[in-house]
Amino acid sequence: MRPSFRHALSATAAQAAIAYGYTLTIWSSGAVLIDIDGKPRVVDVFLFIAGAVTAFLLVELIATSGLSDSESTGSRKGTGSRKGTLVTGSLTVISAGVAVGCATIVGEILSGDKIWPLASFAATLAYLMLAGTQLWLSERLTE
């Protein structure tokens, strides 16, 4: 049996949902920082990248610590059910909004070179933790 177009579209949306939310988060965070701090220098761009990558690594460490190799590999194969991921994607406005809010707070409180890595770190950490929590909750509620 071939899947319907709607089924294929649903699968595509589910697979893109969390990455789409993160794209909105990181772009919006950078835009907010530009508004607060002005045009970034090249070093600021790399600091922004470093902050976001560091947050990703921290979340990865938290998510996989204490797991066996097979558990860690198995958890990467799927990101939850399609329905749970779609619910999470529909709540992107919450996780992305909070994450951009975190970046904004960092930008407003700090100044200079510190805001670029710390704001991207805060936005990435907030988004991943909230999106992960939303996915976990939606999986529990849609079972």
Query: Which two structure tokens, joined as six digits, stand for 16?
Result: 């893109």
**For residues 87 and 142, is the Cβ–Cβ distance under 8 A?**
yes
pLDDT value, residue 77:
46
Residues of the chain with pLDDT under 70: 1, 67-90, 143
Residues with Cβ within 8 Å of residue 61, at least 6 apart in sequence? none
pLDDT value, residue 12:
86
The secondary structure element, H or E, covering residue 33 is: helix 5-37
pTM for this one?
A: 0.83
Residue type, 83: K
Residue type, 111: S
